[in-house]
Amino acid sequence: MKISNVLVSQPKPAAESNNPYQLLADKLKFNVEFRQFIKVEGVTSKEFRGQHINLPDFTAVVFTSKIGIDNYFKFAKEIKFNVPEDMLYFCTTEAIALYLQKYIIFRKRKIFYGTKTISDITDTIKKHLDAKVLIVKGDVSNDEIPKFFDKMKMFHKEITLYKTVSADLSDIEKDFSKYQVLVFFTPSGIKSLKENFPDWKQGDVKIAAFGATTHEEIKKLGYTLDIAAPTEENPSMIMALEKFITAANKKK
């Protein structure tokens, strides 16, 4: 089967000139398209209340995303909680910290950020060991931050304020059969495929996926994994695709 159309389940990169998928497509003479299979949205008021977390009980908040900030202040307003001026904000990056300016007057003595992870500001957090910390997170997250505060022996709780859900793909349904390769990077992306096209049969279509958890979800949902990354031979998805498509089109 000749590979002429590939669908990558990610948003189209802003800079096409440095887009590795487009560069590969140009090199191997196939068409590549991009479509986000998932989206992130805030939890409902019912879901917020169901977690039984009282925002005023906390003196510090951890943010790892802008949508987390949006929903924290949304629910603070909903419950008529005036966030105190002496609230401490621990952010994983400067970009997230700067986003707080949308809701509060930016004072660096209350807002602290790292370059990538919360552990980057360990020395700063040590100065506030008595803080009661609320960790704002999504429904898909690791336990790195809770473990950090466990190690610091600080009081902390988590609250889920946003979640990953399937995007509506109905507009591409009639053209879906033209793709010979579908590329995925998260278990949520595969679940979206199943939810949007429950009766779809894989047939000769090849599925490429990155990461062990994504590989497992593909098999769990009854699909066949044809192109896997990272592996020792193909540490990146680009390398895996190049090898597979080159071989497939050569045979054709």
- 38 beta partners: 166
In the prediction, which pLDDT does 43 show?
96
Judge contact between 81 and 67, C-beta under 8 A.
no
In the prediction, which pLDDT does 160 show?
98
Positive/negative CA dihedral, 102, 108, 114, 118: negative
What is the CATH code of the structural domain delimited by 5-37+169-251? Answer: 3.40.50.10090
In the prediction, which pLDDT does 252 show?
57
Same fold, 5-37+169-251 and 41-164: yes
Domain coordinates in residue numbering, the chain: 5-37+169-251, 41-164
In the prediction, which pLDDT does 137 show?
96
Judge contact between 155 and 132, C-beta under 8 A.
yes
Strands 111-113 and 31-34 turn out to be unpaired
In the prediction, which pLDDT does 84 show?
94
In the prediction, which pLDDT does 128 show?
96
Q: Residues of the chain whose pLDDT is less than 70?
A: 16-17, 108, 252
In the prediction, which pLDDT does 108 show?
63
In the prediction, which pLDDT does 174 show?
82
In the prediction, which pLDDT does 251 show?
74
Strands 181-184 and 38-42 turn out to be unpaired
Residue 164 to residue 147: CA distance in whole angstroms? 23
Residues 6 or more apart whose CB falls under 8 angstroms from that of 116 comprise 92, 93
Residues 6 or more apart whose CB falls under 8 angstroms from that of 207 comprise 181, 182, 184, 218, 223, 224, 225, 226, 227
Distance of alpha carbon 177 from the chain centroid: 27
AA letter at 57: D
AA letter at 14: A
In the prediction, which pLDDT does 14 show?
78
Architecture of the domain made up of 41-164: 3-Layer(aba) Sandwich (3.40)
Question: Among residues 69, 186, 216, which one has the least CA distance to residue 138?
Answer: 69
What are the distances in angstroms from CA 45 to CA 162, 196, 245?
11, 26, 47
